[in-house]
Amino acid sequence: MYDNAVLRQTYDCLVSIKNDETLTSRKIKNRLNELDGKEWVKLTKSWFIVNPPARTRRQLEHPAKFPEKLVERFVKFFTNKGDWVLDPFGGVGSTGRACKNLDRNAFCIELNSEFVEIGQHGLEKKAEFNQYLVRGDSLEIEFILGDHFGPDIPNFDYLVTSPPYWNMLRKSRGGNETTHKERGEQGLKQHYSESDRDLGNIEGYQDYLDNLYGIFEALFPFLHDKAYLTVIVQNMRDVDGTLRPIAWDLAKKLSDIYKLQQEMIWCQDNKRLGCWGFPTTYVSNVHHHYCLIFQKTK
């Protein structure tokens, strides 16, 4: 439970926000988003729980779909109605559907044509807003955007994405019964593709980081100045027991081109627990992801 001091501080914060809104509502427009003070405070908590809902049979073909509710949380905070959102690892269209729900425009790029076909269902045009999911390699974003928009390429207001967590999906999960193993037994995909351009197929860890860096470097010119980016990743334990700190290494590496502003922790509390390492070795059940917040400031 919260103690009285914490409750008092929260109350004082909300009173301050309310007074500030009253004094400035006619003078200052909130240009980052459309939230009021209470909504703003709630979404700045550094950890939160989002449990993915059940997926359709077709969506199950993607081995690591991330939930629309997760995307909506960030899109609501970092954009306004009508803004353009970019997702360079579009999957089966989670970002597009989240933006459709919130009246934002979205352009999502996905390497796997099967995932594109699945994700395009449900992205039919809504009013004046557009959500696109197209096949391509985000390293070639200049050509992809040029082919799609011609000379009228939008200046993207926000980027949100979840790239492959290196080659995690190709690693053995030991003797435990896992959702990953069950997918194989059901004839579902256990990894993304066989393409040599798929980051999930890269053998070397440093090569993976370098290739991921190259994609975000290619995206830089298409984001407007001061645009925010949210990159959702997870650290992983390799088969030899080595922890691969993907989130931390990526945060450091991308700081060369974007300003690292903060991290948020996305938790899942509905995943099954595996008896990893028992009875000799500590191995945690990893039920959280890092949401790295960057900003274009150069």
Query: Which domains are seen in the chain, by residue range?
Result: 45-295 (3.40.50.150)
pLDDT value of position 290? 97
CA atoms within 13 A on the CB side of 230: 23
- Give the number of other CB atoms < 10 A from CB of residue 194: 8
Task: Record the tokens describing residue 170, joined without a space.
Answer: 């190709």
CA pseudo-torsion sign 230, 232, 238, 243: positive
pLDDT value of position 123? 77
pLDDT value of position 137? 94
Low-confidence ranges of the chain (pLDDT < 50): 1, 23-27, 59, 62, 176, 180, 183-184, 186, 188-192
- Convert the pLDDT of each residue in 19-76 to its tens digit: 555 544 444 565 899 999 999 999 999 999 998 766 555 545 545 567 899 999 999 9
**For residue 245, cis peptide bond before it (omega within 30 degrees of 0):** no
Reduced to 3 states (helix: H, G, I; strand: E, B; else coil), residue 157 is strand
pTM for the complete prediction? 0.84
pLDDT value of position 30? 55
Q: What is the biggest distance separating any 2 CA atoms in the chain, rounded to whole angstroms?
A: 64
**Separation between Cα atoms, residue 223 and residue 198, nearest integer Å:** 23
Q: Give kind and range of the element (H or E) at residue 287.
A: none
pLDDT value of position 7? 55
pLDDT value of position 20? 55
- Convert the pLDDT of each residue in 257-278 to its tens digit: 999 999 999 999 888 898 888 9
